Structure 1
């Protein structure tokens, strides 16, 4: 359990430190090239939905995602206890710990960022969409933010537009998704589980 706690703590620390820095130093949609490279950018965006900026309905969809994440995290805690009793290998415990930390990282944004920052994207029911803001956000005492519990948005910043092209009058970009440390952790953990699934689930070990 100490191993799970340590991995979770380190991933969440890196995730939240990077998000807080970006939100308090960048304006929304501000983008800079890293080391002068066109294909490696830090681009600050906020999204109310899932990983990699995928949205899921309006405000109701956002609430549903928060609840689903809470149940997912609770379910993973139960599974960790089960796997540890069964003597699960590090090929399962470590990547699942990384996924666990990523899920918590994005849950923190959605639940609390509206309560600890003085500005952020918010849902406008009149237009049925999320509205951005201008300027740089500042941290404020808990509960004195721009919004309320479960109304914050996830902070994304890593952008790797490897190349772009125009086709049939439309502009396409690869890789256009903008993501954060938590998203990357979930993806990396899932890839490791897939690559080492036979070692992760030996002797018929089941979820």
Structure 2
């Protein structure tokens, strides 16, 4: 698979990701939802940290949330350059197609979420109790590098009240699948799954000549 084809794939994923995020941001209030099916909802939330909303400051207590946010965003920017070089290298060396596709998916997903983190705080005003406006006259909801990632895909496949006799979680509401994510997250997860499932095809061992 050529570099040009992988770039086309990246552009397509980025367009789908960003169009969906901008649409949600400019048509939904925060935590507003729309039921598509009983097991699938469009549910607008914003993620200020890493996967599942985890923050660096949750692990390193002496770093405040804003400093941790900038550190995380800068780390993502550096990482995307590394992934980009990896993609360039494997296409140049004509590595297996499955490896190139997987890296392209991871790159596209990572870049999609970086765009949110870097620019969305400046491009949109906040979504609390209102639908956000693109390039509002009152300014954005935060500064550069402090944007929040827009998530909207929610699959509450199973929702049950756990029996009261169950230790620790008795009487609580159990929800599977609880995380809310976006198209970029899907691309990243798919890329990693491909690397795991098709590991032997992606990283074939060199034949040893006797």
TM over 0.5: yes
**Do residues 164 (structure 1) and 164 (structure 2) align?**
no
**If you compute each CA radius of gyration, which structure gives the higher value, 1 or 2?**
2
1:146 Cα deviation after fit? 2.4
Contact 2:153 2:181 in 1 (8 A): yes
**Within the alignment, does 1:28 sit opposite 2:30 as a pair?**
yes
Structure 1 regions of 5+ residues with no counterpart?
A: 121-132
| Matching residue of 2:142 | 147
The worse-fitting range, judged by mean Cα deviation, of 157-166 and 135-144 is 135-144
| Contact 1:53 1:179 (8 Å CA) reproduced | no
Ranges of 4+ aligned residues in structure 1 off by more than 2 Å: 51-57, 141-144
Between stretches 50-59 and 13-22, larger displacement belongs to 50-59
What count of residue pairs does the alignment treat as equivalent?
190
Decide which of 182, 186, 189 is 1:187's aligned counterpart.
Answer: 189
Equivalent residue number for residue 38 of structure 2: 38
SS of the counterpart of 2:205? helix
Gaps of 5+ in 2: 58-64, 163-169
Tell me the equivalent position of 1:175: 177
On the 8 A contact 2:108/2:184 being kept in 1, the answer is: yes
Deviations 1:138-158 (A, max 9, x none): 101799422210111000000
What's the TM-score, normalizing by structure 2?
0.85
Q: CA offset at residue 60 of structure 1?
A: 2.2
